[in-house]
Amino acid sequence: MLSRVADSVYWMSRYLERAENVARFIEVNHNLTLGDGDELSQQWEPLVYITGDHEHFSERFGAPTRDNVLQFLAFDRENPNSIVTCLERARENARSIREVISMSIWEQINKFYHMVLAAAKAPGVVYNTPSEFCERVKTIGNTLVGMTDTTMSHGEPWHFARIGRMIERADKTSRIIDVQYYLLLPTTSDIGSTLDVIRWSALLKSTSALEMYRREHGRIVPAAVADFLILNRYFPRSMHFCIVRAQESLRLIAGSHTGTFHFRSEKIVGRLRSELDYTHIKDIVERGMHEFIDDFQTRLNDLGAAIYSDFFLQSEAT
Amino acid sequence: MTIDYAPAGTGYDEMFEAAGTPRRSSVNFVDRLASFTPQDLIQRQQRAEQTLHTLGITFTVYGEDEGTERIWPFDLLPRIIAGQEWARIEQGLKQRVHALNLFIQDIYNEQRIIKDGTLPAELIHSCASLRPQLIGFRPPQDVWCHISGVDLVRDGDGTIYVLEDNLRCPSGVSYVLENRELMKRTFPQVFEGMSVSPVEDYPEQLLDTLLSCAPAGVDLPCAVLLTPGIYNSAYFEHTYLAQQMGIQLVQGSDLLVRDNRVFMRTTHGLQRVDVIYRRIDDDFLDPTFFRPDSTLGVAGLMEAYLSGNVTLANAPGCGVADDKAIYAYVPDIIRYYLAEDAILSNVPTFVCADSVQRDHVLSNLDKLVVKPTNESGGYGILMGPMASQAERDRCADAVRTNPRNYIAQPLLQLSTVPTLIGDQVHPRHVDLRPFVLSGKDIYVMPGGLTRVALRAGSMVVNSSQGGGSKDTWVLRDRSLRTAPHIATAEQKQSQTLR
């Protein structure tokens, strides 16, 4: 397939996943603030930290009020990671590869974009009841993943779409753990309290992991939550799961046998995967959660750069 | 809904002979339409437009700030053409495109038509789209204009005229296919028992045409569609055709030339390209050959082309045959190469390069339409009767300064078709662009793109200037469908046996 097309499929998929994750963050945070008058009720700032754009935010909006944060995360066209910007870019990418994706995918992305544009015209409604809007974004996002699986041949373009989605999802799950872990752990006095359970549940909910976690571990225990979201082999939003799938797609695209590689990107993802395969949550906690996640994100960035030079940048010298 | 308007005065209406009297080809449709309420039609019309919106079937308006994408208005009431009339049009189009192709080949090779004095040499040499670099070149299968769009109009007296030939990158065919799809989705009932000729096999025919003109000796040719990119006004069409044909949609930056061969950059290295359906103008194809500032093209492409290693469709230099001053000579061109009279008439045309004709034009500017010879899309046209004196003066100056650049034609009274405007039906002016494919054979898509001027009284149908489109139905003649030849042969046989 054309390198440019592979690049666009990959980014289309990443932006769609990013938009969905931003909606997840907003929705869960909103639920947390609904508690009656405790100190969580005004917590909108951590959301800005999750997306990594806090400097950009405080420069332009100042105080992290609910309305400011929601405007910034959902509808701000100058925020490169807002839902509307993500959809605009996903759609631009989809537009340049309309002949590769199925008609129904294009149609759905187009509807998605128009839905968000319409919502942006009446932001007050979204500020007051973010859940409904976030639910729609999540549902359409999931519909698109389903359509990609059921209407697109599982050949090269599909694998590039999956790699994009998996890298983006791994990155977002890692960010949400990073921020929430930092916020949650210091309040040791709360451990085991109702409030603590609510906060940790919220973390699981934002990754749609609560029910699956309960089946696996039952009671909410911080280390088990981190284990579930980082290392679980079967939960589709865990970092480990995403890396395994990304590696699988890369290997199929490159045509390498298991355990071997042709490209640098395969090597990077392979090392990362093996480490996650054999890491225990205790190792991570001992080393420091933040350091672990920081390193993980750096390596995801390396992986992205390597994919770019291995597949998207076909120089004359090829 | 009953259509009860009276066709406008002297004009010709495609659906009605007179108020309340549909033409024979439209009787069934008008009957069928009467069983729907106006509300029902309006709802379907809205649903059709909503569908266009969600499908993202849009075009780009240049020079507009607010949102570059717009949907192209679609009208639910089709334009209907009788089978018999179409048979003649189809023959006329084949004849015309065949002759134009021979003409281009001759111009770039022997130039017999000039040497024989049928066409003034000056006319050819002054033609802006002549590509002298191609002199002596013969493309695969000797085909130059693989895809042509020939604009037809019907005047008040009912005569069909050729208004212009588009041989460079004619666009609009995707709308024909989408309009049919849209009609079937939103208004399926009207098709029942109508025997409308299908248009859906166009992408297949186009792919056949492209592959049949691949460079000699290539077993499984690889064809691609070259687009200027997502900001081009016809980008939707490029993606649509590439998708329907199952070929790669490439941009200039996806291609490169090495050793005079064209390759595309893929995730698995370079892959050879044999046929390029290019939707980029000649000027931008190759910065080392034509315009050096082009960022859309591919360096070295023309050398590869001239070496016979890749086919370009349409061939560079085709524009020499759709220059509007040459247009005036097409009936002569047909007679010269085919020894036949043109089946389809030209609109009477005054060529300003000729001093006698120019004087006539300059003293009748208030009655004529003046057109630049090397433009398309309705840009730069003076509609004399509607223009102000200042506009006419400016036009007269332009004609005097550069007469070769202008032709003039009488203002035609374009035919009308009933069109839904609000909750009523009104006559609106239309033209027709059929599409003709030339490969080993010539294929004419039944019907074509009917463009409609949505403003009352307007004759300007261009999408960039307030036009919309309609589905175009070519009815298959019931008498023809029963295959009379076979029946007659059998009868004769049984007669002799008896």
pLDDT tens figures, A50-84: 777 788 888 888 888 889 999 999 999 999 999 99
Q: Please state, in angstroms and rounded to a whole number, the distance separating the CA atoms of residues A216 and A235.
A: 10
pLDDT of residue A12 exceeding 50, the answer is yes
* Same domain for A145 and A206: no
Minimum distance, in Å, between the CA of residue A26 and any CA atom of chain B: 27
What phi and psi, each to the nearest 5 degrees, are found at residue A2? -65, 140
Minimum distance, in Å, between the CA of residue B230 and any CA atom of chain A: 6
Peptide bond into B374 cis (omega under 30): no
Under the phi-then-psi rule, with left for phi > 0, alpha for psi from -120 to 50, and beta for the rest, what region is B453? beta
* CB-CB under 8 Å, B229 with A2: no
For A4, the closest of B53, B54, B253 (CB atoms) is B253
- Give the residue from B439, B459, B433 showing the smallest Cα distance to B214: B439
pLDDT of residue B267 exceeding 60, the answer is yes
Residue-averaged pLDDT of chain A: 88
Instruction: Report which DSSP code applies to A129.
Output: -
- Give the residue from B208, B113, B166, B214 showing the smallest Cα distance to B438: B208
Q: Please state, in angstroms and rounded to a whole number, the distance separating the CA atoms of residues B368 and B348.
A: 11
* Same domain for A229 and A291: yes
User: If you count them, how many residues does chain A have?
Assistant: 318
pLDDT digit string (tens) for A103-129?
Answer: 889 999 999 999 999 999 999 989 888
Q: Please state, in angstroms and rounded to a whole number, the distance separating the CA atoms of residues B345 and B161.
A: 5
* CB-CB under 8 Å, A92 with B229: no
| Residue A1 and residue B266 in contact, taking contact as beta carbons nearer than 8 Å | yes
* CB-CB under 8 Å, B265 with A107: no
Strand residue runs (E) in A84-168: none
Mean pLDDT to the nearest integer, A306-315? 86
CA dihedral A49, A51, A55, A61 (to 10 degrees): -90
pLDDT at B498: 38
Print burial letters for A34-64: b (CB count within 10 Å at least 16), e (below 16): eeeeeebeebbbbbbbbbebeebbeeebeeb
Mean pLDDT to the nearest integer, A25-35? 78
pLDDT digit string (tens) for A221-275?
Answer: 888 999 999 999 999 999 999 999 999 999 999 999 988 899 999 999 999 999 9
Query: B16-20, B44-48, B462-466: which has the minimum mean pLDDT?
Result: B462-466
The residue of chain A with its CA nearest to that of B251 is A4
Residue B358, domain CATH: 3.30.1490.270
* Same domain for A185 and A62: no
Q: How many CB atoms lie within 10 A of CB A274?
A: 13
* CB-CB under 8 Å, A96 with B229: yes
Mean pLDDT to the nearest integer, A197-209? 83
* CB-CB under 8 Å, B264 with A110: no
Minimum distance, in Å, between the CA of residue B425 and any CA atom of chain A: 31
- Give the residue from B331, B358, B354, B332 showing the smallest Cα distance to B344: B331
pLDDT at B407: 92
pLDDT of residue B437 exceeding 70, the answer is yes
The reply to whether B372 falls in a domain is yes
pLDDT at A39: 54
- Give the residue from A67, A20, A14, A1 showing the smallest Cα distance to A206: A20
Of the residues A152, A185, A202, which one is the last residue of a structural domain?
Answer: A152
Distances (CA, A) of B278 to A24, A253, B84, B170, B230: 44, 30, 35, 11, 15
A100: its two tokens: 């590769």
For A99, the closest of B55, B243, B265 (CB atoms) is B243
pLDDT at A35: 60
Residues of A in contact with B232 (CB under 8 A): none
The residue of chain B with its CA nearest to that of A93 is B230
The reply to whether B368 falls in a domain is yes
* Same domain for A270 and A159: yes
pLDDT at A66: 87
Mean pLDDT to the nearest integer, B352-364? 92
The reply to whether B404 falls in a domain is yes
Q: Please state, in angstroms and rounded to a whole number, the distance separating the CA atoms of residues B465 and B64.
A: 13
* Same domain for A182 and A310: yes
- Domain region containing B353: 348-411
pLDDT at B23: 92
Global ipTM: 0.74
Q: Please state, in angstroms and rounded to a whole number, the distance separating the CA atoms of residues B50 and A219.
A: 50
pLDDT at B483: 40
pLDDT of residue B350 exceeding 70, the answer is yes
Q: Please state, in angstroms and rounded to a whole number, the distance separating the CA atoms of residues B329 and B354.
A: 13
A209: its two tokens: 């992991």
Q: Please state, in angstroms and rounded to a whole number, the distance separating the CA atoms of residues A257 and B45.
A: 56
- Give the residue from B464, B428, B373 showing the smallest Cα distance to B14: B428
Mean pLDDT to the nearest integer, A204-231? 89
Indicate the number of domains in chain A: 2
* CB-CB under 8 Å, B242 with A3: no
Indicate the number of domains in chain B: 1
* CB-CB under 8 Å, B267 with A98: no
The reply to whether B196 falls in a domain is no
Residues of A in contact with B229 (CB under 8 A): 96
Q: Please state, in angstroms and rounded to a whole number, the distance separating the CA atoms of residues A163 and A252.
A: 11
Confidence of residue B60 (pLDDT cuts 50, 70, 90): low
A298: its two tokens: 């750096």
pLDDT at B159: 94
What phi and psi, each to the nearest 5 degrees, are found at residue B63? 75, 20
* Same domain for A72 and A39: yes
* Same domain for A139 and A39: yes
Test mutation, A98, A100, A112, A307, chain B, max B CBs within 10 A:
A98
* Same domain for A178 and A44: no
* Same domain for A209 and A77: no
- Domain region containing A106: 1-152
pLDDT digit string (tens) for B102-144?
Answer: 999 999 999 999 999 999 998 899 888 899 999 999 999 999 9
| Rg value, chain B, Cα | 24
pLDDT of residue B488 exceeding 50, the answer is no
* Same domain for A175 and A158: yes
Q: Which residues contact B85 (CB under 8 A, 6 or more apart)?
A: none
pLDDT above 90 covers what percent of chain B?
65
* CB-CB under 8 Å, A4 with B265: yes
B392: its two tokens: 């006419």
The reply to whether B396 falls in a domain is yes
A154 touches chain B (CB under 8 A): no
User: If you count them, how many residues does chain B have?
Assistant: 498
Mean pLDDT to the nearest integer, B368-387? 82
* Same domain for A109 and A180: no
pLDDT at A25: 86
pLDDT of residue B283 exceeding 60, the answer is yes
Q: Please state, in angstroms and rounded to a whole number, the distance separating the CA atoms of residues B286 and B300.
A: 6
Residues of B in contact with A111 (CB under 8 A): 54
Q: Please state, in angstroms and rounded to a whole number, the distance separating the CA atoms of residues B59 and B486.
A: 48
pLDDT of residue A92 exceeding 80, the answer is yes
How many beta-carbon pairs under 8 angstroms link A with B? 67
| Residues facing residue B16 across a β-bridge | B22
Instruction: Report which DSSP code applies to A33.
Output: H
pLDDT at A37: 53
The reply to whether B390 falls in a domain is yes
pLDDT digit string (tens) for B392-420?
Answer: 999 999 999 999 899 999 988 899 999 99
* Same domain for A161 and A25: no
User: Which three-class secondary structure state does DSSP give residue A318?
Assistant: coil
pLDDT above 70 covers what percent of chain A?
91
User: Which three-class secondary structure state does DSSP give residue A242?
Assistant: helix
- Give the residue from B372, B380, B377 showing the smallest Cα distance to B433: B377
pLDDT at B7: 66
pLDDT at A183: 67
| Residues facing residue B151 across a β-bridge | B164
User: Which three-class secondary structure state does DSSP give residue A64?
Assistant: coil
pLDDT digit string (tens) for B154-163?
Answer: 998 899 999 9
Q: In what order do the strands lie in the sheet with B275-278?
A: B248-250, B223-226, B275-278, B311-313
Minimum distance, in Å, between the CA of residue A303 and any CA atom of chain B: 16
pLDDT of residue B493 exceeding 60, the answer is no
Q: Please state, in angstroms and rounded to a whole number, the distance separating the CA atoms of residues B226 and B254.
A: 9
Residues of B in contact with A160 (CB under 8 A): 267
Confidence of residue A148 (pLDDT cuts 50, 70, 90): very high
| Residue B161 and residue B152 in contact, taking contact as beta carbons nearer than 8 Å | yes
pLDDT at B484: 40
SS3 labels along chain B: CCCCCCCCCCCCECCEEECCEECHHHHHHHHHHHCCCHHHHHHHHHHHHHHHHHHCCEEECCCCCCCCEEECCEEEEEEEECHHHHHHHHHHHHHHHHHHHHHHHHHCCCCHHHHCCCCCHHHHHCCCCCCHHHCCCCCHHHCCCCEEEEEEEECCCCCEEEEEEECCCCCCHHHHHHHHHHHHHHCHHHHCCCCECCCCCHHHHHHHHHHHCCCCCCCCCCEEEECCCCCCCCHHHHHHHHHHHCCEEECHHHEEEECCEEEEEECCEEEECCEEEECCCHHHCCCCCCCCCCCCCCCCHHHHHHCCCCEEECCCCHHHHCCHHHHCCHHHHHHHHHCCCCCCEECCCEECCCHHHHHHHHHCCCCEEEEECCCCCCCCCEEHHHCCHHHHHHHHHHHHHCHHHEEEEECCCCCEEEEEECCEEEEEEEEEECEEEECCCEEECCCCEEEEECCCCCCCCCHHHCEEEEEEEEECCHHHHCCHHHHHHHHHHHHHHC
- Give the residue from B258, B264, B260, B261 showing the smallest Cα distance to B225: B264
pLDDT at B223: 97
Distances (CA, A) of A312 to A283, B222, B369: 36, 21, 51
Residues of B in contact with A95 (CB under 8 A): 56, 230, 235, 239
